[in-house]
Structure 1
Amino acid sequence: MTRVEETWRQYVPSATLHDVDPQRFRFEWHSADLDGVSLVRYDLAAQVHSTAEPQAQFLACRVAGSDVRLHSDRHDLDPTRPWITDGPRVHAHWDAGAHVTALVFDRARLERLGRRITGDDTLTLHVTALSSISAQAGATWDRTVAYLEQSVAGLDADDKVLRAELARHAAAVTLSAFATTARDPRARSPQAGPAPALVRRALDFIAENAHRGITVDEVAESVHISTRGLQYAFRRALDRTPAECLRQARLDGAHRELRAGSPKTVAEIARRWGFSHPSRFAAAYRDAFGVSPSVTAAAHRR
């Protein structure tokens, strides 16, 4: 069991196994690294309770078996469909054994692809429902994973171009098969077209540094433009100010931390993301996500 857990944690550091029957244990593992995504497949014959809770990742997974049971901390999941999580815990149970396939995406890379697909350079990617959007979409995702397995098997280690293409294909199908903010235009700000490269670089800097006490002046410096020029570029491309985008990135960061079941208080998380006034943070959070931060924290508290 220790070997299984250590192997799986190379890809999902939070993964844990519980209640494994050592008398019936049998394990077979295969994995491949593409460009920003890992393809994982394993067979585990044992009585198992496993938990996945990815951080800074998107985990799309299919657990196939005759007696598989799946649930999050709040809902049961359909065991006949693949599922995805970007933080909320998913628990899997089986007694007779299971075949598990998974795609593990780096959050930042999948989010960048989502921005290119939607044309929304302010998109913050979140999972909005854990199960695939339909049985047909789940079957398409399953076929894609099977195709990736076959394709990777014949690749040379230095075939970087094809690996990158396969990774993009995996990401596009996953974004199509599951409910995320990339599929929901209500979760995105209106944008007439792709933002220019300068604005995209500024947005990347904001996304990577929102947890720090950065200012709009520092964002402008990061892309070698004046603060006034940055304001104009954002208004023209996004109809938003850099300050609004920075504030939203910090709200998104606090939202992710609350959904991950952080043991910290709401006030502590608010301060970590630059909100010194809890009441103002609560109001901004409610405007952005439709619920108060305390409701999110209670729903995902461990």
Structure 2
Amino acid sequence: MRIEAEGTDLEQALDLFRVAYNGGGEWSGHVTDRDFSYRHTAVGDGDMTLRNTRFLGRICGEMAPEDDYVVSWVTEGYGFFDTAGEKKSLTPGLPFLFPTDRPVSFDMADVEQKLVHFHKPLLERVAAEHYGTAPGTLHLETAAPTESSVRAWRNALSLVSRTIVDADASAILRGEMARLAAVSLLGMFRPELTCLPPALLVPSHARLRVAVEFIHANAHLPITTTAIAATADLSLRALQEGFRRHLDVTPNAYLRQVRLDRVHEQLAQGAALTVAQVAGSWGFTHLGRFARAYQERFGEQPHQTKARVR
């Protein structure tokens, strides 16, 4: 795939970027004190694409989740991304990982932006091979990456980009470059690894393992025990008995534990939202019960976790 488009028409630019970045809702654009122009290029294949965007003007809108893991960074310009009320200002050179489970709104001006799109199956397969886990939806860290991991990412992308833009590069070489970039991405935004009890690694318990992995991958959604059982091809009774026998909890209790872990992770990363907002986003609407469960699991109150990162 090779795409190249440029021009000076604001409406054409908005139409182009709305399609290219899975735009949802209303997008708007305005001229700044610079002469307006835009440019968009993309090169790659079904596994990975490298994209470059220039928009000399102001652009606002919302991007819906898509079938890619996307990392972006700006080299020029200013603005912010907003994910569920948590704003992150654009820092030149610092990669930002788009969430895959909720839309992202943005407001940017006079930007030069680079993006790498990884098709979900590719990154999930590489992560499974790299960490020795089963393939599945990844829950990646969203905290700012370390300087060393960003350096490694830049070094990898320097080699990858030279190969991907070469029209004569073989499919095998392109595949290896996509894997190299994927491993580098995982070094910046590490996946949360599901530590399964040894009993679930036994082949005879494969369906129960599917149920557990489904919970970890979909904890942000309003899933039910019926949906969990159907995914694992188990009856409700078999699901309940399997969880009690091997995990000593019910499926619903296990789901609450996973959601508590996600709240803890978000607070420990310095979420801009309040404790109540973070808890509510993971389905905890009764703050008293939530605080007691949090204290029991982590040995401290949620506001104490949040206070440590100020």
TM range (shorter): 0.5 to 0.7
Shift in Å, 1:203? 4.0
Change (3 A) 1:190 1:212: closer
Q: Compute the displacement of 1:153 (Å).
A: 3.7
The one-letter amino acid of 1:26's match is S
Give the superposition deviation at 1:133: 1.1
Separation (CA, whole Å) in 1 of partners of 2:60 and 2:44: 23
Q: Show the counterpart of 1:173.
A: 184
What secondary structure sits across from 1:24 in the alignment? coil
Matched, 1:30 2:41: yes
Partner Cα distance (2:163, 2:211) in 1: 36
Structure 1 residue corresponding to 2:150, chosen from 135, 138, 145: 138
Q: 1:21-72: CA deviations, max 9, x gaps?
A: 397122221224644654322234x24466776646643112223xx34656
State whether structure 2 residue 113 is matched by structure 1 residue 100.
yes
Kept in 2: contact 1:144–1:173 (CA 8 A): yes
| Percent identity (aligned) | 22
1:240, CA displacement in angstroms?
7.2
Deviation at 1:76, TM superposition (A): 5.0
1:174 Cα deviation from its structure 2 partner: 0.8
Give 1:151's aligned residue.
163
- Distance in 1 separating the partners of 2:279 and 2:30: 36
Gaps of 5+ in 1: 296-302
Task: Report the 3-state secondary structure (helix = DSSP H, G, I; strand = E; otherwise coil) of the residue aligned with 2:38.
Answer: strand
Q: How far, CA to CA, are the matches of 2:281 and 2:132 in structure 1?
A: 31
Match of 2:72 in 1: 61
Determine the C-alpha separation between the residues in 1 that align with 2:256 and 2:122.
21
Q: Any conservation in 2 of the 1:58–1:106 contact (CA below 8 Å)? A: yes
SS of structure 1 residue aligned to 2:23: coil
Q: Deviations over 1:145-170 (max 9, x none)?
A: 344444334569x95x7766544433
Cα 1:19/1:291, change in 2 over 3 Å: farther
Within 5 Å, which residues of 2 pair with 1:177-188?
Answer: 178-182=188-192
2:17 matched residue in structure 1:
8
Kept in 1, the 8 Å contact 2:61–2:106? The answer is yes
Find the partner of 2:139 among 116, 125, 131. Answer: 125
Mapped partners of 1:241, 1:108: distance in 2: 30
How far, CA to CA, are the matches of 1:24 and 1:124 in structure 2?
41
Q: Deviations over 1:193-220 (max 9, x none)?
A: 99455455334544358734521x6534
- Picking from 90, 96, 101, the partner of 1:83 is 96
* Change in CA separation of 1:218 and 1:74 when aligned onto 2, cut-off 3 Å: closer
Aligned to 1:173, what secondary structure does the other structure show? helix
Give the letter aligned to residue 145 of structure 1.
Answer: L
Name the TM-score, length of structure 2 as normaliser: 0.58
- C-alpha separation between the residues in 2 aligned to 1:19 and 1:268? 35
Q: CA deviation at 1:101?
A: 1.4
Q: In the aligned structure 2, how far is the partner of 1:39 from the partner of 1:8?
A: 15
Change (3 A) 1:151 1:26: same
Q: Provide the alpha-carbon RMSD of the alignment.
A: 5.2
- In the alignment, the residues of structure 1 paired with residue 227 and residue 291 of structure 2 have an alpha-carbon distance, to the nearest angstrom, of 26
* Contact 1:60/1:82 (<8 A) preserved: yes
Superposition deviation, residue 102 in structure 1: 0.4
**8 Å contact 2:39–2:53 — kept in the other structure?**
yes
CA distance in 2, matches of 1:173, 1:248: 30
Answering whether residue 227 of structure 2 is matched by residue 214 of structure 1, we say no
- Match of 1:84, as an amino acid? L
Structure 1 residues 18 and 108: CA distance shift in structure 2, 3 A: farther
For residue 302 of structure 2, give the secondary structure of its aligned residue in structure 1.
coil
Question: Per-residue displacement from partner, 1:61-101 (whole Å, max 9, x unpaired)?
Answer: 12223xx346566565542333334267665444xxx5421
C-alpha change, 1:2 and 1:148, in structure 2 (3 Å) is farther
Aligned residues between the structures? 272
Partners of 1:126 and 1:277 in 2: how far apart? Answer: 27
2:50 is matched with 39
CA distance 1:269–1:142, change in 2 (3 Å):
closer
The structure having more radius of gyration, on CA atoms, is 2
Q: Unmatched 5+ residue regions in structure 2? A: 1-9
